[in-house]
Amino acid sequence: MGPLIRFVDVTKVYENNCTALRGINLSIEKGEFVFITGASGAGKSTLLKMIYGEEFPTSGRVIVDSWDVSKIPRKKLPYLRRSIGVVFQDFKLLPDRTVFENVAFALRVTDASRLAIRRRVPAVLELCGIKDKSNCRPDELSGGEQQRVSLARALVNNPILLVADEPTGNLDPDTARGIFALLEDVNDMGTTVIVATHAQAMVDHMRKRVVTLRDGILQGDEARGIYRA
Amino acid sequence: MRSSTWAYMAGEALASLRRNRFMTIASITTVMLCLLVLGAVYTFTCNVAKLAEVAEAQVEIRAYLSPKVDEKALRAIQEQLKQIPGIQSFEYISKEKALERMKQQFGDKEGLLDGIDKINPLPASFEIKVAEPSMLSGVAETVKALSGIDEVDYQKELVDKLLLVTRTMRFGSVLVVVGLGVVTIFLIANTIRLTVYARRKEIAIMKLVGATDSLVRIPLVLEGVLLGVVGGIAAGLINNVVYAYVFKTVSSSMPFIPLVLPQAVNGKVLAITAGAGIVIGMVGSVVSMRRFLRI
C-alpha cells in the first residue's frame, strides 16, 4: 500500500496570476502527524485545501487514499470530504444551532440513521471533552470550547484523515495546548493528522514531522523537526 | 435517502423560514402581489373572451330565396343546409313572417305599410348561425351556390373588425400574462437569492463536511416552493373575493354586461396562482443558489 497522501509536482496559480505553490512533491503515510509551517502567504492553506478539494492544482496531481483529487468529478467530491475531517481557525460553527446539532450536522449529510446519530455524537463530544456543553449554542462557549466542537464535528464521521488549518490561531497558549493534546490523542487512535500552524512553541515541543513552506516552495521536511518560518 | 433525512430536510426548511421571519414575509408578499396582478389579468381575459363570444354569436348569414322556389324546392334547400359543415342552426323566414317583422319594426307608423300586404315585395329567407365566426365567409359562399338562393348577405366588414379586435385582445392578454410571469420569477429569484446569500456560510459548511448538492438544495427548494405556494394561494383567494364582489355589483347595476360567473373562473384563478407560485418558487430558488453551490 502506498502513502495516504501524495503531491506530485503540484503547482497552483490563482486566477489573479498569483502563484501559491510551486512544484510541490510530498508524501504522507497513514497514521502520521505532520506540521505544515511557514509565514502567512507561504501556501499552507492552499496546500490543505487541495487535500479536501476546495482548491485544485493548476498542474500536477494530488492523490488522497484512492482518490485522485486533482481530477475528482464534482459528484464524487462529497464522498471524499466525508472521509476527511477539517478544522478551521475560525471554527465555522453554525451560530443558531446547539453543539449537538452542529456535530450531528456532519453525520446527517451522510444520510446517517437517527440511531447512529444518537450513539455517535455523544461519544465524540465526550472524546473532545465538551459533553456537558451539548445543549449550548456556540456563542455561549469559549474559543477553546468552540474549537473542540469543531474538532468533534470533524471526527464524527470517523475520518481516515484530519486536516487542521491554524486550529489555535485564535486561542491563547494554554487553550492551544489542550487542542494540540487532543490532536495527538486522535493521532494515537490511528487517524492521520495534518496541522498548519504558527504555534512555534508547540511544534518545537511535540517533535513531529515538520514540513516548511516558503513562498510556495517546499523548503524543509524533517522527521522530528522544529519550527522554521 | 432515508425518510429521516427527508424529515430532517423538511424540518430545516420550516426552521429556516421561522428563523428568517422577515425575509419569509417579504418573499410571500412579493409573490402574492405579483400573482394578484396575474390573477386579475386572467379574470379580465376570461371576461373579454366571453364578451367576444357573445358578440360573435350575434353575427349571422341571411340567405334570400328566389321567388320561384316552391314547397318541394324549399325542403330540398333545407336538407342541403343541414349537410353543410359549420352551420350551427338556421331558421326559415317566410315572406309573411318577414312582413310581420317589418311591421313590428315600424311600430306605430305601421300605417305606412298599408296596402303592401297584397303584393308583399319581401323575399323569403334563411337566417343561418355558424359555429365559428371565422367560418362565416366560407359558409356564405357555399350557401350562395345552392340553387334557389338568390343572394347571401352578412356584415362582412363588421365581422372582420370584430374578429380582429377579439384576436388582438386575446393575444395581448397572453402577452401580459407571460410578461408578468417572467417579472415575477425575477423578483422571487432575487428575494430567494437574498435568503440564500444570508445562508452562504451555512451552505459552505455543509459542502465542506461532505453534503451532496441535493442535500443542500432540497431544503432550499422546499423553502422556495412553500413561499411560492403560500403567496400564490393568498393571491388566488384575494382575487376570488374581489371578483365575487365585482360580479355582484356589476350584474346588479349593469345587467346587460355579460360577465363570467365567479364560480366558473375562481377555481381556475386559484389553481393558476397556486401553480404559478410553486413553479416560481422552485425556479427562483434553483436559479439563485447555483452560484453558492460551487464550493
Segment B169-225, tens digit of pLDDT: 778 878 887 887 777 777 767 777 777 777 788 888 888 888 888 888 888 888 888
Q: Of B130, B154, B178, which marks where a domain is finished?
A: B154
Give the integer Cα–Cα distance in Å for A93 and A95: 6
Mean model confidence pLDDT for chain B: 82
Reported as a single tens digit per residue, the pLDDT across A100-115 is 999 998 888 888 888 9
Task: Tell me the backbone φ, ψ of residue A92, rounded to 5 degrees.
Answer: 50, 55
B146 plus B167 within the same structural domain? no
B174 plus B289 within the same structural domain? yes
Contact call for residues B157 and B126 (beta carbons, < 8 A) = no
Contact call for residues A145 and A122 (beta carbons, < 8 A) = no
- Structural domain includes residue A153: yes
Reported as a single tens digit per residue, the pLDDT across B129-185 is 887 777 777 888 888 888 788 888 877 777 777 778 778 877 887 888 788 777 777
Give the integer Cα–Cα distance in Å for B84 and B149: 15
Residue among A94, A96, A101, A109 with most chain B CBs within 10 A, to mutate? A109
B175 plus B131 within the same structural domain? no
Task: Tell me how close the Cα of A113 comes to any Cα of chain B, in angstroms.
Answer: 7
Task: Report the domain count for chain A.
Answer: 1
B47 plus B184 within the same structural domain? yes
Give the chain A residue whose CA is nearest to the CA of B20: A96
B172 plus B38 within the same structural domain? yes
Check CB contact under 8 Å for A105 and B19. no
Q: Which of A79, A109, A111 sits opposite B209 (nearest CB)?
A: A109
Give the chain B residue whose CA is nearest to the CA of A116: B4
| pLDDT for position A229 | 66
- Structural domain includes residue A117: yes
Task: Tell me how close the Cα of B192 comes to any Cα of chain A, in angstroms.
Answer: 20
Give the integer Cα–Cα distance in Å for A69 and A193: 18
| pLDDT for position A84 | 94
What's the CATH number where B75 sits?
3.30.70.3040
Q: Which of B5, B19, B204 sits opposite A96 (nearest CB)?
A: B19
B179 plus B281 within the same structural domain? yes
B51 plus B64 within the same structural domain? no
Confidence category of residue A188, pLDDT binned at 50, 70, 90: very high
Task: Tell me the backbone φ, ψ of residue A195, rounded to 5 degrees.
Answer: -125, 120
Q: Which of A86, A110, A113 sits opposite B208 (nearest CB)?
A: A86
Give the chain B residue whose CA is nearest to the CA of A159: B209
B175 plus B276 within the same structural domain? yes
Confidence category of residue A1, pLDDT binned at 50, 70, 90: low
Assess whether pLDDT exceeds 90 at residue A36: yes
Contact call for residues A50 and A10 (beta carbons, < 8 A) = yes
Question: Which of B43-46's residues contact partners 24+ apart within 8 Å by CB, and which partners?
Answer: B43/B239, B43/B243, B43/B260, B43/B265, B43/B269, B44/B173, B45/B169, B45/B170, B45/B173, B45/B174, B45/B177, B46/B260, B46/B264, B46/B265, B46/B268
Assess whether pLDDT exceeds 80 at residue A210: yes
- Structural domain includes residue A112: yes
**What 3-state DSSP class applies to B258?**
coil
Check CB contact under 8 Å for A52 and B208. yes
* C-alpha dihedral sign at B114, B115, B121, B123: positive
Q: Domain range spanning residue B168?
A: 3-55+161-293
Mean model confidence pLDDT for chain A: 91
Reported as a single tens digit per residue, the pLDDT across B106-124 is 777 767 777 777 778 888 8
B254 plus B197 within the same structural domain? yes
Residues from chain B that touch A96, judged by Cβ atoms under 8 A, are 19
- Structural domain includes residue A24: no
3-state helix, strand, coil in chain A (%, to 5): 35, 25, 40
Which residues between 201 and 240 in chain B have a beta carbon less than 8 angstroms from any beta carbon of chain A?
201-202, 204-213, 215
Check CB contact under 8 Å for A109 and B215. yes
Angle (CA) B89-B93-B95 rounded to 5° is 165
| pLDDT for position A60 | 93
Cell digits for A64?
488522497
Q: Of B109, B129, B154, which marks where a domain is finished?
A: B154
Reported as a single tens digit per residue, the pLDDT across B49-98 is 787 777 777 777 888 888 887 888 888 888 888 888 888 888 888 888 88
Residues from chain A that touch B208, judged by Cβ atoms under 8 A, are 52, 54, 81, 86, 92
Contact call for residues B64 and B125 (beta carbons, < 8 A) = yes
Q: Of B118, B133, B154, which marks where a domain is finished?
A: B154
B130 plus B171 within the same structural domain? no
With 0.80 as the threshold, say if the pTM is over it: no
Task: Tell me how close the Cα of B217 comes to any Cα of chain A, in angstroms.
Answer: 12
- Structural domain includes residue A110: yes
Task: Report the domain count for chain B.
Answer: 2
Q: Which of B2, B19, B205 sits opposite A111 (nearest CB)?
A: B2
B48 plus B179 within the same structural domain? yes
- Using a 10 angstrom Cβ sphere, with 0-12 exposed, 13-18 middle and 19 or more buried, the burial of residue A152 is buried
Q: Residue B155 to residues A165, A198, B160: CA-CA distances in angstroms?
A: 86, 94, 9
Q: Domain range spanning residue A125?
A: 96-158
Instruction: Please compute, for residue B289, the number of CA atoms within 13 A of its CA located in the half-sphere on the CB side.
Output: 29
